[in-house]
Structure 1
Amino acid sequence: MQDIVTVSVIGLGALGILFGGQLAAALPAGTVRVVADQDRLERYREQGIYFDGERVPFDYLTPDATPSPADLALVCVKFHQLEAALPLIASQLGPDTLIVSALNGIASEAVLAEHFGPERIVYAVAQEMDARKDGNRLVYRDRGQLVIGAMTTDPSEAERVERVARFSARAGLPHTVVPDMPRRLWGKWMLNVGVNQTVALYQGTFDTVQRPGEARETFKAAMREVLALAPHEGTGLTEADFDYWVRVMDALDPAGKPSMRQDLEAGRQSELELFAGTVLALGQKHGVPTPVNERLYQGIQALQARQDV
């Protein structure tokens, strides 16, 4: 198996800085690249990107100025930005380039596989972090980790996972390889459906759903609607998974904020369709009631509408 040497980061939000910054600090200069349009790159070069108080030594590239394919494309945009990012990703691909998506939700890998081939995809979940971007600096307490694994029993997929795991170990990037990736993918999505939307609607922080009260009950109830859908989708999600992801949430920095809350505060488009929108569609498909996610959907839509006025 060919070793991963060069990494191209597409999307320099909180996760792009979190994972890309750790890689750039550990690997030789020029091997961790950030790919973006010219205007954005000029701003990055001028202002810098800071992680742990240090300016990150990224190698900045436009698609047209990419000298050679990357061994790994690390995709860290938001889901609603993925379509626009496809040309950036395509510019980094060679015959053996792998793609890892750190996006929320359960759909990004399918989109990437449709455009670039399933033989490139390594499924991943970014979890246990509380990072947020403050201007050109990353603020966090918990770095979290990248969880990777195979979705099938195909030996070639296991080989791709092993390539990424070996690279992550060499770079000192916190990671775990799991044998039940469909379950892990759905588990993280279940958590996001609960925490992202509840904290956004109640306009709070992680503490909003960590302490007893109405918000915490809403957070759990939204997750339980995903749990009710899981058997219909064959994901293997269980009550034990529900308890695990609640514990993950309770261990995060109470002052932290999930991505949807950050997006609404900044007036950016949120990932509402990725969370409640998907739950409502699956609920309709399988005849499973999803009233809590309906309430969250309507409430967050109202918040967004007020921002647009």
Structure 2
Amino acid sequence: MKYIIIGAGGTGGILGFYMTKAGKDVTLIARNAHLEAMQKQGLSVEKMWINETESIPVGAESMESYEAKGEKADVILVCVKKYSLDSCIPFIQNISHKNTIVVPVLNVYGTGAYLQEKLPKVLVTDGCIYVSANIKQAGVLLQHGEILRVFFGVREKEDLKKLNGQLDGEYKAERLLKKIAQDFKDSGIDGILSDNIKRDALTKFSYVSPIGTAGLYLHAIAGDFQREGEARELFKTLIREIVTLANAMGITFEEDLVERNLKILSNLPEEATTSMQRDVIEGKQSEIDGLVYEVVRMAKKYGVEVSAYERAAEKFREMEVK
């Protein structure tokens, strides 16, 4: 299948690197210096946990150049920040055919449902990824840890029938989704076709939202959360508030998310930070709306108290005013 990956940073770039290395048909969509570097010298990944760098040639184009070719994609992995999502929609529409499957792999919960409304002619799943990586410099990604896991799936069984509008659409979609999972696994990616993606995506959100919120609120790094103290306690409190919100939404978890997320955190280098922290500190556009403010909005909608998130949101809004 022909894969297009929109975004070539710590999510899309990493997926594209390993899938290309495995011989899959992948084109990374990027821009500016990062795109130019990949076209000239390939993509390099520095693997911190083994102190090793690997470089390979990759297919990389801009939206404009790919669209001009008139080619269509079988699978589109959307790996941009939430604030860039709307700008990708016309491109996705123009490179999709009637059987294209769109898999959003973003930090913010609810992205798939949002995209499906904008893209009614194709099947849009939900998805999430576990990876810690970022762009170190143009053409070079820094992967902090070995974990690389993707969950994806349809929100409702009924969604499968949307594909192609045919009677066999449900079965065709199932076959294609299983093929995507196999392509991930062939590439050394732990690709999991979820039968409860709402729960699995919210499970991921229960890590990335609290760690980003607490990290920015206390200017903390991974090492601060790995030790007993204020940062670790705030992280745990925020996770519990997400669980309370999920329960109000009718979503229950089969495991203790506090223990689960602390285990994930324990495997990170002490100096690791989140992309939201880095973006806010550097004065860049960030995902603070989807990772923090949206939690407060959802809590009001479902009548749930999230006092720690409310305190953080108030502080962040004051920072934005300054």
TM-score class, shorter: 0.7 to 0.9
- Alignment map for 1:95-244 (pairs within 5 Å): 95-117=98-120, 119-127=122-130, 129-136=131-138, 137-143=140-146, 144-154=148-158, 156=170, 158-237=174-253, 240-244=256-260
**Does structure 1 conserve the Cα–Cα contact (< 8 Å) formed by 2:98 and 2:122?**
no
Cα distance in structure 1, aligned partners of 2:29 and 2:185: 24
SS at match of 1:97: strand
TM-score, L = length of structure 2: 0.83
SS at match of 1:34: strand
The match for 1:60 is 61
Shift of residue 82, structure 1, vs aligned partner? 0.2
The match for 1:246 is 262
Structure with the higher fraction of residues in strand conformation: 2
The match for 1:270 is 286
> Which moved further from structure 2: 69-78 or 248-257?
248-257
Shift of residue 176, structure 1, vs aligned partner? 2.5
Shift of residue 43, structure 1, vs aligned partner? 6.0
Distance 1:19 1:131, change over 3 A: same
SS at match of 1:71: strand
**Does structure 2 conserve the Cα–Cα contact (< 8 Å) formed by 1:37 and 1:63?**
no
Q: Which amino acid in 1 is paired with 2:290?
A: L
Distance 1:230 1:203, change over 3 A: same
**Does structure 2 conserve the Cα–Cα contact (< 8 Å) formed by 1:196 and 1:258?**
yes
Determine whether 1:45 maps to 2:39: yes
TM-score, L = length of structure 1: 0.87
Cα distance in structure 1, aligned partners of 2:68 and 2:305: 51
Structure 2 unmatched ranges of 5 or more = 46-52, 161-169
**Does structure 2 conserve the Cα–Cα contact (< 8 Å) formed by 1:123 and 1:150?**
yes
| Paired residue total | 299
Structure 1 unmatched ranges of 5 or more = none
Cα distance in structure 2, aligned partners of 1:120 and 1:40: 30
Distance 1:77 1:255, change over 3 A: same
Cα distance in structure 2, aligned partners of 1:189 and 1:20: 23
Shift of residue 274, structure 1, vs aligned partner? 0.7
Instruction: Give the one of 85, 88, 98 matched to 1:85.
Output: 88
Of all paired residues, the percent bearing the same amino acid is 22
Aligned residues: CA RMSD: 2.4
